[in-house]
Amino acid sequence: MPTDHAAETVVVAAPLEQVLATIRDVASQPVWVKEILEAEVLEKFDDGTPSVAHIKATAPVGTDEYTLRYEHSADGMGWSLVKGRLQTAQDAIYTLHSLAKAETEVTFDLTIHHNLPLPGFLRGRVIKGLVHNNVQGLKEFLEP
C-alpha cells in the first residue's frame, strides 16, 4: 500500500486566533481550498468545533469522498480518516505559531495511504501540490 507525505510552512499576515478559526470552519473550506468541492460537518464537539466531517475532493488522480475525525488544540487542528473510497488512511495536522501580533506561521503536514497504482514521482507531485495549494489558499484567503 503506497504512502505519500508532504509538509509546507507559510507565514500568514493574520493573528493566530483568526487563522485557527478559519481552519476550524471546515464547512467553509471549499472557499479557500480549491481541491475541496464539498465539506459537511456531521458531528461537533460541545464547544462547537468539528468532530466528524464528510469531504468531497478532487485531485489529478480523480474525485474522492471520505469522512474525517478531527482533534483540536490551542495551536492547531488535526484529523484522521474514518472512511474513504480511494484512500485507506489519511493523517494531517495544521500547527500554528504566533510570530507577531498579526502574523502566524502555519505548517500543514499531510500523509495519505492509498491503493492507487501510480509511479512514486507522480504521487509525490500530487501530494506536494495538494499541500501547497492548501496553505497558499489559506494565505490568500486571509490576506485579501
Looking at the structure of the chain, the number of domains it has is 1
- Going across the sheet that includes 50-59, the strands are 3-12, 103-114, 87-100, 76-84, 62-73, 50-59, 36-44
Q: Residue 26: which CATH number?
A: 3.30.530.20
Q: How far apart are CA 43 and CA 124, in angstroms?
A: 32
Q: Which amino acid is at 63?
A: T
C-alpha cell at position 98: 504566533
Q: Which of 2, 44, 6 is nearest to 25 (CA)?
A: 44
pLDDT tens digit sequence for 31-59: 999 999 999 999 999 999 999 999 999 97
Q: pTM (2 decimals)? A: 0.91
Helix or strand or coil: residue 29? Answer: helix
In Å, how far from its chain's centre is CA 71?
Answer: 12
Q: Please identify which residue in the block is written with the cell numbers 464539498.
A: 38
pLDDT tens digit sequence for 93-139: 999 999 978 999 999 999 988 876 666 666 767 789 899 999 999 99
Q: Please identify which residue in the block is written with the cell numbers 499531510.
A: 110
Identify the domain containing residue 137 by its residue range. Answer: 3-142
